[in-house]
Structures are given as C-alpha cells and as structure tokens.
C-alpha cells in the first residue's frame, strides 16, 4: 500500500475507517509516516498552532478508580486536596496565561461530576471570564447532565473536554467505576448543547497499537475538534506506577496515526512531552499542531513562552488572531 497515495486521497476527501486496511500505519517507516502526517497537518491546519492552558479547579477525593490518576480516592498518592477554587484565583490565572499568549483557557475538576454550589461557582466564574478576557473558554467537569452543558454554553464556554482515555476494548482495564459508553454519552450531550469537543486519551498504559488505532477511529466518528494525546508519566501510588515509559518513536508514530485518521482535528500534545527531545519539537513536524502548556494539572515539561519560541522557530504562527 502506497502511503503517499493514501495521503493524497485524504487531502482530496477520503477518510479512513475501520473497514480500510490500516496496516500501513504500523508497517511504514517512521520517517515516511511522520513526513506524510506533517503534509496532512499543513494542508488541514496550515501553520497555525493552538495553545491552551488549564487550572485544576478542584483537586483530589475523586470517586472514580482510573488507574493512571493521582487524584483518585482509590489510590494513595499524597495529592493536594481542595474544594472549588476561589473565583479571583482562577481569574488571575486566566489573565496571566492570556498575557503569555495562550489561545484557550480551561478549568478542570476532579470527580465524577461537578454539581450543586460548586457548579454554580463555576458558572459565575465563566460569566466573568467571558466578559473580561479574550481567550476561548473550555471546561472539564466530568459526566455532566444535558442542562448543565447548556448552562455552561450560556456562561461563555465554547468547548468541553472529556477524554475517552483509550479504546472501548481496553477501557475496562483502566477504569471500572464508569464505562466507555458513559464517556460517549457525555460527549454526545455536550455536542447537543452546541459545544465543541476536546477528547483524546493516554498512551503508554499497556495498550496495544490496535487500541490506539481504535481510539482514533472512535474520535473520528465523534467528530471532535481537538484531540489531546497524553503520554503516561507513571505516578507513585497508582496501579500503573511501575509500568515502563513509552518511547519517543512510539509517541511520534501515535501522533502521525491520529493525524491520518482524524486529519481535520487539532492534534494536541499534552502530558509527557518531556519524554521527547525539546518537549516534542519533532512531534510538531509529525502531525501535531497544538499543545497544552503552562502551569497545569499534568505538566508538559515546558512553559508558555518557551513553547511559543520553539513553535515559531520551526515555522508556526502562534498569534491569537490566528485561532478561534
């Protein structure tokens, strides 16, 4: 199978599905695969890069048992625990990140679902953020109900983040307190409320290459706008603390695979960039065009200004006027 022909077919409108022979994604040489993935990136995303930052709005005591997560109450990780943050603290963080040049800002919270007074505090914070700042606003509050998504949209949120984490087949090996279908239903409810979707997962949790391909296929079917790819950093106290860390070539191949399968989405490097040379510089030439940066729940290993300088050096435009 000629990978360059497939690349041209995708540029001309073809989309890969589970019915296609996808063996070329694993059998092609890494250099050729990433070169073609970068060609797809340039065609669909141009030279713009999109940077987002997050603040951990509520930490710890999560009821869910996700094996990778330091915030789960099922694990002993010594994570800092606190209730929903003070509005002024979130506002100050947003202002700092906006001044540094990010395009989007997200509040994320630990727990199955944000509700009650804490959800009302979040809505109030977003209303003020949307009036006083000029960055795109995102939220990540777990498995919300339909009306909550509508309330977020009315408060100024434009994108909702809900990772599917891995493939449907592998999901029960990672989490047992909610299901893969729970994740998909959450995403469908958010889309029905008019929100864009940011959804991806974590690689390096012991999954197979087929699991990674299947995760990309699911995200393609969901029509997500942004796909964060996290490389697992094993955390002491979690069930995955002793797992072998994923290699840079495997991260690069995964990034390229996602570009081939979901060519129009922002492929966003997230946690684990410090596993790669220069915090993932080559990945931005292998299909990725976006990143999570700055002070965050799960560090990338780089700061906002450092990321902007690196992206500009390799030919990206990072001005806010180039990003929705």
CATH code where residue 83 lies:
3.20.20.70
In a domain, 7, yes or no: no
- What pLDDT is recorded for position 323? 53
Would you state the structure tokens that stand for residue 105, as one six-digit string? 């800002």
In a domain, 319, yes or no: no
In a domain, 195, yes or no: yes
Neighbours of 115 (CB within 10 A): 14
- What pLDDT is recorded for position 168? 98
In a domain, 236, yes or no: yes
Residue 111 structural domain: 19-314
Neighbours of 277 (CB within 10 A): 11
- What pLDDT is recorded for position 76? 87
- What pLDDT is recorded for position 166? 98
Q: What is the pTM of this model?
A: 0.94
In a domain, 10, yes or no: no
Cα–Cα distance for residue pair 299/106, rounded to 1 Å: 14
Instruction: Give DSSP secondary structure letters for 143-212.
Output: S--HHHHHHHHHTT--EEE---BS-TTTHHHH-SSS-HHHHHHHHHHHHHTT-EEE--EEE-SS--HHHH
Q: How many structural domains comprise the chain?
A: 1
In a domain, 323, yes or no: no
Reported as a single tens digit per residue, the pLDDT across 233-244 is 999 999 999 999
Residues of the chain with pLDDT under 50: 297-299, 322
In a domain, 4, yes or no: no
- What pLDDT is recorded for position 145? 95
- What pLDDT is recorded for position 73? 87
Reported as a single tens digit per residue, the pLDDT across 270-289 is 999 989 999 899 999 999 99
In a domain, 14, yes or no: no
């Amino acid at each position: 199978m000629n990978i360059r022909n497939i690349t041209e077919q995708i540029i001309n409108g073809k989309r890969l599905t589970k019915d296609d022979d996808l063996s070329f994604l694993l059998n092609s040489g890494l250099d050729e695969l990433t070169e073609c993935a970068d060609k797809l990136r340039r065609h669909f995303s141009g030279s713009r890069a999109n940077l987002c930052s997050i603040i951990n709005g509520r930490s710890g005591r999560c009821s869910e048992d996700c094996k990778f997560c330091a915030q789960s109450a099922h694990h002993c990780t010594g994570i800092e625990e606190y209730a929903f943050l003070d509005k002024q603290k979130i506002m100050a963080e947003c202002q700092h990140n906006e001044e540094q040049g990010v395009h989007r800002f997200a509040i994320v919270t630990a727990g199955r679902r944000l509700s009650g007074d804490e959800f009302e505090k979040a809505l109030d914070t977003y209303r003020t953020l949307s009036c006083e700042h000029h960055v795109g606003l995102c939220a990540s509050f777990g498995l919300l109900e339909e009306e909550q998504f509508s309330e977020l949209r009315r408060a100024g949120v434009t994108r909702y983040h809900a990772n599917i984490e891995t493939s449907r087949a592998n999901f029960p090996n990672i989490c047992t307190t909610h299901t893969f279908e729970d994740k998909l239903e959450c995403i469908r409810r958010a889309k029905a409320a008019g929100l864009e979707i940011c959804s991806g997962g974590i690689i390096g949790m012991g999954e197979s290459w087929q699991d990674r391909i299947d995760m990309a296929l699911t995200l393609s079917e969901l029509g997500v706008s942004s796909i964060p790819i996290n490389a697992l950093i094993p955390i002491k106290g979690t069930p995955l603390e002793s797992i072998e860390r994923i290699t840079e070539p495997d991260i690069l191949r995964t990034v390229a695979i996602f570009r081939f399968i979901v060519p129009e989405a922002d492929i966003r490097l997230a946690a684990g960039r410090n596993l790669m040379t220069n915090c993932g510089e080559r990945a931005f030439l292998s299909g990725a065009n976006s990143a999570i940066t700055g002070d965050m729940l799960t560090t990338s290993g780089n700061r906002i200004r450092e990321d902007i300088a690196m992206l500009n050096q390799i030919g990206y435009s990072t001005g806010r006027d180039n990003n929705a």
